[in-house]
Every structure is written in C-alpha cells, then in structure tokens.
Amino acid sequence: MTTLPEIKAIYTDGACSGNPGPGGWGTVIYFADGQLQELGGHEAGTTNNRMEMQAAIAALQFLEHQDYIGPVELHTDSKYLIQGITQWLKGWKRKGWKTSAGKAVLNNDLCVVLDELTQRLANVQNIEIDWRYVKGHAGNVGNERCDQIARAYSHQQPIQLQQLKASASQLSAPPLANQADLDEVIIQNNDSISTQSHSAPDNGSASTLKRLSHILTRLQMADTLAEHGYLITSQELADLLDETADDIAQRGTQWTWRNWSVAQVGGHGADREFWQLERLETAS
C-alpha cells in the first residue's frame, strides 16, 4: 500500500449515450495539498445508473488499495446511488435482493460490490464514506469535471487524466504484482522442472523443457495475480500472454485466456489502463 496525502473530497459521475447504450464513468479524488487523481472507464452496453455506480466503485477500490485511514466525503449527482446505498440496501439484503414488490433488485451485482467495499473499508481501514448529493450541471467544479470524463469515455474520445504526482504509477488502481511474489513463482517453477529431469537431456529435450518452464512460469504468475487481486498494465498483460499490446487492444474489455477471465479495470491509455485476472471454475 502507498501512503496518501489527506483526501479533501471525492466526486463521481456517470454518463450514457442512450439508456441503455455506450457509457462512461469519471472519478476525481481531490487531495488537501492541491493534487488530483482522476479515473475513468468505458462500457459498450450499459445504463446511466450503472455508470454512476461504477464510478463510485472505482473510488472505493482506490481507497481500499491505499494506506489511508479516516472518513471520506463522496459527492455524486445520482440520488439513485445515494438512496440505494444509504436507505434501500439493508432492506434489499434482508429480502434476498428483492424489492418490496418481490422483484429482483436492478443492478444487484453492482449493489453487492458497493456493499462489500463499504463494509471492508469500514472494518479494515476505519474509512466511513459520507455520501453527499450534489446537483448536476450546476457549476460545481468536481461534478463538472467528472461529467466531462464520463462523457468522453462514453463516446470513446481521448481525454487527459491528471494523476497524483507522488506515485502516479501505483495510485490509479490497486497495486501491481510484488516482484518478490513473481520471483518466488519462477524459483518454484524452475525447481519443479529440475526435479523431473533425472538425466542430462539432449538438445531437443532441453529446448522442450525450456519452453515448458516458460509456459509454467507464465501460468503460475497468472495464478498469483488472480489470487492476490493484483492489477497489471496492458503492456504487462501483453508480456504475460506473450502477445503484443496491439493484440490486447483488439480483444475488447473482457475475455478468457486459458484458465482465467481477463477484464479491464479503470480507464484507457498506456499508463492508466489496468487489467485483472480471475481464475475460472473448473469441472470436478
């Protein structure tokens, strides 16, 4: 984790071109020392409410993966988001994620994520979220900037996001893989290969073992990344998959590679686009 400057306030917003339609979300974290941390993302087919929720989720995930303690103000122009998290959530959970009319709660997948994040922040880091409503399109600087980011991403237009200068590469998302973890995977993998070879292989066998060692290292690295919830950049993902960054860009925002689901987290751009791996269930 990385120690943050004092957080002054967080603003979030979502946008959608059509409802449903292509959407985007924007998050801005204001620090007391005047610095900013901006996040954004795109989803091809979604709704405005989901983008509002996703912007808040990104803010909470950012807090969870930094060394920060204390109350935080989160400002949003979505009454749906605020009422859902502060008023309706307990009743929905009590009824098994059903409304008072007995219907399934809309966007309950994101509701579950928001609920789990707020609970972990409160219990582990003593971070209480102060949910505050701000009127949209009324000249509030934070709200207007989030709206600008969200709209740009919804239309997949380029936009420059500001990053916290103290540690921009680490603070836009949860931490990247610890090199010590990956080194341990390589050592264990090489040890396992060597114990399986009891006699000196010929050149062809040596080449085969070398390729297998490389493959096993990549697969075990993928398991380490998934197990710890580490995020990696597009270039790091390309290196892991032994592909090019262009190959990764053409795959979309969520897909499957071998035994893992691969999903984009955060915004676009070489230094702000992160990916997360999740181990797929295998048949017993």
> Is 33 annotated as catalytic?
no
137 catalytically annotated: yes
Is residue 227 flagged as an active site residue?
no
What is the side-by-side strand order in the sheet with 21-31? 36-46, 21-31, 7-16, 72-76, 129-133
Active site residue 77: yes
The residue annotated as part of the active site, out of 43, 147, 236, 273, is 147
Give me the sign of the Cα torsion angle 196, 199, 205, 207: positive
Catalytic pick among 24, 26, 43, 52:
52
13 carries an active-site annotation: yes
- Does residue 226 contact residue 279 with C-beta atoms inside 8 Å? yes
Q: Which residues pair with residue 14 across a beta bridge?
A: 25
Q: Kindly write down the DSSP assignment for every residue of 54-108, as one continuous string.
A: HHHHHHHHHHHTSB--S-EEEEES-HHHHHIIIIIHHHHHHTTSB-TTSPBPTTH
CA distance 55 to 73: 14
Q: Is there a catalytic annotation at residue 42?
A: no
Catalytic residue among 96, 102, 137, 204: 137
Q: Which of 14, 24, 26, 40 is the catalytic position?
A: 14
- Active-site hit among 38, 43, 77, 273: 77
Residues catalogued as catalytic: 13-14, 52, 77, 137, 147
